[in-house]
Amino acid sequence: MLYGARRLNKGRRHEIYEALESRGFHFGLATGRRKDGSTLPLEIISGDIKGRSGAVLLIRDITERNEVEERQRRVEERAFRSQNLESLGLLAGGIAHDFNNLLMIVQGHSDLITMQASKDAALKESIAEIRKSTNRGRDFFRHLLSFAGRAPGEVQPVNLSEIMRYTDRMLLVRLPRNVTVVDRLSDDMPMVNGDDSQLHQVAMNLMVNALEAIGDEEGTITTSSGVRDCSEEEFVDSTAAGDIKSGRFAFFSVADTGCGMDEDTQRKLWAPFYTTKQEGTGMGLAAVLGIVHSHGGVIKVESEPGSGTTMTVLFPVE
């Protein structure tokens, strides 16, 4: 049995009658309530019966239709976001190459000046600053290439669990006392084809972000890996660049108990130059996304404000 929410709204009680009297039909939406207290969306269609005192009334449960429309909206949103990032990637790749050419000229001339100014300490110090800046610029250039999916790499079979274990060991050297790292990495992992150093970069970025999300509070970072079967539905809200087919995927994930993110932050997360940090460049996660896409992978983010964040990187297993 359904109890329409309209009956509780005094201003809308006579809406159907007024529409029938003026137009002869009525179309509207309402919220219904089942006996168990749960609600459901309703579509109400009614029409006047000519020559008779009465009306035909159709009330239809549109839960399934709304779910299909919502899924389609999310798919279109993902496609739009993917197209934007692809366009930005092409632009970033072009800029990066031109930028690197300029840096090579600057660095080359600074090398020549260094050779000619061996006795001028002040000049040598200035040249050293130039070289520092060009080196930082080249790091930025590599980030741009990674985001564009054009970073050079050496593809070979890699074990995702070993990548995470190495990253954990690197992080333990500077792990603050308020953070605990829990290892749930699988010992039985299939090999995936990838560039070892680039995937280490992905893992390190995710771990550093997890640390920063926890901040000075007591917290835990959990690293996991394994293999699981995924359906296409699971990738609707992911960073998939195109159609991702269902199948077996090897994955590693980084989960923290930090501050979490709202939906607006999650939508902007992968955009280049977007950052929530005071001194961040906004290229860390953009580079992560480019690397994962260039490996044919996908990233899923699960987060809520105050409830921490889990980032899972998945690669199809052939």
pLDDT value, residue 3: 44
pLDDT tens profile 241-287: 556 778 899 999 999 999 999 988 888 887 777 777 666 666 778 78
What percent of the chain is predicted at pLDDT more than 90? Answer: 25
pLDDT value, residue 110: 74
pLDDT value, residue 279: 62
In this predicted structure, the answer to whether residue 76 has a pLDDT above a threshold of 50 is yes
* Tokens, residue 210: 């997890």
DSSP designation for 76: H
Query: Which three-class secondary structure state does DSSP give residue 306?
Result: coil
* Rg, C-alpha atoms of the chain: 28
Q: How many residues does the chain have?
A: 318
Query: Which three-class secondary structure state does DSSP give residue 150?
Result: coil
Whether 247 contacts 192, CB under 8 Å: no
For residue 104, count other CB atoms closer than 10 A to its CB: 12
Buried b (16+ CB within 10 A) or exposed e, 217-242: eebebbbbbbeeebeeebbbebbbbe
What percent of the chain is predicted at pLDDT more than 70? Answer: 69
Provide mean pLDDT across the span 101-128: 72
pLDDT value, residue 83: 63
pLDDT value, residue 7: 47
Choice between 14 and 255, residue whose per-residue pLDDT is larger: 255
Q: Which of 87-91, 99-103, 178-182 has the lowest mean pLDDT?
A: 87-91
- Distances in Å between the Cα of 67 and the Cα atoms of 2, 61, 115, 226 are 20, 12, 69, 31
Strand partners, 195: 155
pLDDT value, residue 162: 95
In this predicted structure, the answer to whether residue 98 has a pLDDT above a threshold of 70 is no
pLDDT averaged over every residue in the chain = 78
Architecture of domain 155-316: 2-Layer Sandwich (3.30)
Sheet with 179-184: list strands edge to edge.
179-184, 219-230, 247-256, 309-316, 298-303
DSSP for 250-304? EEEEEEE-S----HHHHHHTTSTT--SSSS--S-HHHHHHHHHHHTT-EEEEEE-
pLDDT value, residue 87: 62
Choice between 160 and 295, residue whose per-residue pLDDT is larger: 160
Provide mean pLDDT across the span 178-190: 94
Tell me the HSE value of 196 on the side-chain side, using a 13 A CA sphere: 10
pLDDT value, residue 242: 57
pLDDT tens profile 116-167: 666 667 777 777 777 777 776 666 666 666 665 566 567 899 999 999 999 9
- Distances in Å between the Cα of 184 and the Cα atoms of 42, 110, 206, 252, 255 are 45, 49, 16, 10, 11
pLDDT value, residue 106: 74
pLDDT grade, residue 97 (50/70/90)?
low
Provide mean pLDDT across the span 52-76: 75
Question: Smallest Cα–Cα separation from 181: which of 219, 234, 225, 208?
Answer: 219
Choice between 273 and 305, residue whose per-residue pLDDT is larger: 305
Query: Which three-class secondary structure state does DSSP give residue 78?
Result: helix
Instruction: Flag whether the pTM goes above 0.75.
Output: no
Question: Smallest Cα–Cα separation from 249: which of 225, 265, 213, 220?
Answer: 225
